[in-house]
């Protein structure tokens, strides 16, 4: 299988490096449409960081987190070779760059046993504060939590995510110990974060969107696309990296484009048919709401003439339902809502043109 090299994200890279070059002071939420390259960007940057940084990358993708034990297992990585907690800290402070990237936060078996025995977030977060305090004496710790929304609804006494936010604020704004990046493709979660009073003035937002037209053309040129092929690719996929990769690997470009559009259009038709015949519901603020099919259709028809619309111009229930089902994307920082991809926009126009 053809391996695709990381394509330059100069603007986003500069923004992140500017954050890392300064004293930790804000939580940075890295967000964007699904499959826009957020994790690829973060992974690439981790590989390029100089040796004064030590990165702890916690990826919650694919993990089911419903309680305290699940959370601890997702956050920490058991180091069976080390018997003492201090040995881990000593290793982190002294080893070379190639070792300074951890999938999870390494701890000893004794520490894990303590967490499972005590079962209180206070112990975990107090431990993490001490952990990063010691590391910060010799290195610059960077904590990255990918797919943070996975714990958005986990509730043990209070919502877990709020306890985490308090920890992140403590590590950044108050103690200036550790850079914290929270990565998510769930724009409903970002909207929720954006409206949280507790995070006002304590976080920043970095959008990793699909490539623009110039970046898309440059990316495709690296893979031998002609000018006409670039236009065809842009019209179908826009700058969605995962979609462009499918075109790069295709033997017949026109046939692949037609297939992608046919599949996405079929998925949207099935989604709407199911909603119309069986109905739909969504939970907002712990209450279940019925979905109004006609309002969904009216909302989608707005994209017949527009590529993006004002996020406050539509009803909240329909908006949340379409975003939750990965048809639309909210950018709360810009106040807009748009299809998740160029392909979604084309499918919406195809289906709504016949309604």
Domain boundaries, the chain: 10-207, 268-352
CA 325 to chain centre: 16
Report the pLDDT value the prediction gives residue 245, as an integer from 0 to 100.
Answer: 94
Under a CB-based contact definition with an 8 Å cutoff, are residues 199 and 229 in contact? no
> What is the average pLDDT across 26-54?
91
Report the pLDDT value the prediction gives residue 99, as an integer from 0 to 100.
Answer: 44
Task: Please give the CATH architecture assigned to the domain spanning 10-207.
Answer: 3-Layer(aba) Sandwich (3.40)
Report the pLDDT value the prediction gives residue 266, as an integer from 0 to 100.
Answer: 98
Lowest mean pLDDT segment, chosen from 88-102, 169-183, 277-291: 88-102
Dist CA 299 CA 315 (whole Å): 9
Structure tokens given for 353: 């043109």
Within 196-248, strands assigned E span 203-207
Give 235-261 pLDDT, tens digit per residue.
999 999 999 999 999 999 999 999 999
Q: How far is CA 236 from CA 181, 240, 244, 250, 343, in A?
A: 32, 10, 9, 14, 6
Taking 70 as the threshold, does the pLDDT of residue 156 lie above it?
no
Q: Is residue 1 very low, low, confident or very high in pLDDT (cuts 50, 70, 90)?
A: very low
Dist CA 355 CA 353 (whole Å): 6
Q: Is residue 100 very low, low, confident or very high in pLDDT (cuts 50, 70, 90)?
A: low
Smallest Cα–Cα separation from 339: which of 107, 117, 33? 33
CA 101 to chain centre: 19
Task: Please give the CATH architecture assigned to the domain spanning 268-352.
Answer: Orthogonal Bundle (1.10)
Beta pairing partners, 304:
none
Whats the size of the chain, residue-wise? 355
Most confident by average pLDDT, 62-76, 152-166, 177-191? 177-191
Q: Decide: helix, strand or coil at residue 1.
A: coil
Taking 50 as the threshold, does the pLDDT of residue 115 lie above it?
yes
Q: Is residue 19 very low, low, confident or very high in pLDDT (cuts 50, 70, 90)?
A: very high
* Matching fold, domains 10-207 and 268-352: no
Q: Decide: helix, strand or coil at residue 104.
A: coil
| Torsion angle defined by CA atoms of residues 339, 345, 349 and 352, in that order, rounded to the nearest 10 degrees | -30
Positive or negative: CA dihedral 27, 31, 35, 41: negative
Which DSSP helix (H) or strand (E) runs through 184? strand 179-184
Smallest Cα–Cα separation from 183: which of 207, 158, 155? 207
The residue to which tokens 């040796």 are assigned: 51
Report the pLDDT value the prediction gives residue 186, as an integer from 0 to 100.
Answer: 92
Under a CB-based contact definition with an 8 Å cutoff, are residues 195 and 29 in contact? no
Interstrand relation of 309-310 and 336-339 (parallel, antiparallel or unpaired): antiparallel
Dist CA 113 CA 119 (whole Å): 10
Under a CB-based contact definition with an 8 Å cutoff, are residues 342 and 238 in contact? yes
Under a CB-based contact definition with an 8 Å cutoff, are residues 111 and 157 in contact? no
Structure tokens given for 82: 């080390």
Residues 6+ apart with CB under 8 A from 267: 347
Structure tokens given for 48: 């390029």
């Amino acid at each position: 299988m053809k391996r695709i090299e990381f394509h330059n994200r100069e603007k986003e890279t500069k923004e992140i490096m500017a954050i890392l070059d300064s004293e930790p002071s804000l939580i940075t939420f890295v967000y964007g449409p699904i499959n826009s390259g957020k994790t690829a960007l973060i992974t690439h940057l981790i590989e390029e960081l100089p040796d004064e940084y030590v990165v702890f990358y916690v990826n919650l993708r694919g993990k089911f987190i419903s309680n305290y034990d699940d959370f601890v297992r997702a956050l920490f990585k058991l180091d069976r070779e080390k018997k003492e907690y201090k040995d881990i800290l000593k290793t982190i402070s002294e080893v070379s760059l190639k070792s300074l990237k951890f999938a999870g936060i390494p701890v000893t078996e004794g520490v894990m046993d303590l967490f499972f025995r005590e079962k209180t977030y206070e112990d975990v977060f107090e431990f993490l504060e001490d952990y990063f305090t010691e590391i910060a004496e010799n290195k610059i710790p960077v904590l990255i939590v990918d797919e943070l929304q996975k714990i958005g609804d986990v509730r043990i006494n209070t919502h877990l995510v709020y306890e985490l936010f308090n920890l992140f604020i403590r590590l950044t704004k108050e103690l200036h110990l550790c850079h914290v990046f929270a990565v998510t493709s769930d724009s409903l979660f970002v909207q929720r974060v954006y409206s949280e009073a507790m995070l006002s003035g304590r976080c920043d937002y970095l959008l990793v969107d699909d490539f623009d037209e110039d970046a898309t053309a440059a990316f495709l040129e690296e893979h031998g696309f002609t000018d006409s092929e670039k236009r065809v690719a842009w019209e179908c996929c826009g700058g969605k990296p995962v979609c462009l990769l499918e075109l790069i690997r295709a033997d017949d470009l026109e046939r692949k484009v037609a297939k992608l559009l046919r599949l996405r259009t079929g998925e949207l038709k099935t989604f709407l048919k199911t909603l119309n015949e069986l109905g739909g519901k969504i939970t907002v603020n712990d209450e279940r709401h019925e979905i109004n099919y006609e309002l969904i259709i009216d909302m989608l028809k707005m994209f017949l003439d527009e590529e993006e619309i004002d996020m406050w111009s539509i009803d909240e229930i329909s908006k949340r339902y379409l975003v939750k089902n990965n048809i639309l994307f909210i950018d709360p920082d810009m106040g807009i809502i748009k299809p998740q991809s160029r392909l979604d926009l084309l499918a919406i126009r195809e289906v709504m043109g016949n309604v």
